[in-house]
Amino acid sequence: MPRLKLTIAYVGTQYHGWQTQARKNASPLPTIQNIIEDAVAHVLGERVHVHGAGRTDAGVHAEAQVAHLDVPESRARMDWQLALNTLLPRDIRIADAVLVPDTFHAQHSAVRKTYEYRLWLSKRYTPPQLFPFVWACGPVDVERMDEGSRYLLGKRDFASLKNAGTDLRTTVRTILSITRTPEGQLPEDCLELTWRFEADGFLKQMVRNTMGLLVAVGRGKLEPADIPGILDACDRRIAPLTAPACGLTMKKVWYDDMFPLAASGHEGA
């Protein structure tokens, strides 16, 4: 069957994360995956599993989550973007829909991922339009955070920054870069700070735990040089608390050139 790759943007505030969650004797909790599968079922007349690149948590947002599904040949070249966006709620949008080879897998074919985390550096107030998208952590020392971030780069065991919930063969990952905007010394009136994390993969809530760790350093609760010892312990209990979900956005999922994209066409739904 033809395989369709979806690029999906969503505001995660009202949802229980990406992955469908069944409840005994009750309807499934509203999740991004479940809502999209409902829309696909409306188009096809049957339910089809939609495989996501990553299981974003409840309240986490995405600008470019990636998913794939297999569709009948007769529906492969319809305008899936238009068809699904007509059915989906306004806080879930299909940014792109293209045909790909059947060897493509949204999760397993990914070679790296990029997330951003937004901090609001005041506890006195948060602009209402930003409230669902930032952690109002208050003032932080970004130079200390910069120093701490350097200890996180490279291939390491990040078990201390993984929350329970997913069985994995290894907790070793490679963080390729950690950057922030604005760069350098912050202007005196700067209240918004965005951290970007790029890695070959992330453990469960690893970005939120990493952000919580760096904020603890920025608040002076930990020294930057404490980070290697925290990682070496491979013990989640000694690391700081998880940062709130609201500040996190999945920005991009990267794939090799071995999966060239084909046009999906624009036939009617």
Q: Write out the DSSP string of the chain.
A: --EEEEEEEE--TTSS-SS---BTTBPPP--HHHHHHHHHHHHHSS----EES--PPTT-EEEEEEEEEE--GGGTTB-HHHHHHHHS-TTEEEEEEEEE-TT--TTTTEEEEEEEEEEE--SS---TTTGGG-EE-----HHHHHHHHHTT-EEEE-GGG--SS---S--EEEEEEEEEES-SSPPTT--EEEEEEEES---TTHHHHHHHHHHHHHTTSS-GGGHHHHHHHT-GGGSPPPPPGGGEEEEEEEE-TTS--B----B--
Residue among 57, 96, 102, 257 flagged as catalytic: 57
User: Is 125 assigned a ligand-binding role in the annotation?
Assistant: no
- Whether 38 sits among the annotated catalytic residues: the reply is no
From the annotation, which residues make up the binding site for substrate? 115
Give the active site residues.
Answer: 57
From the annotation, which residues make up the binding site? 115
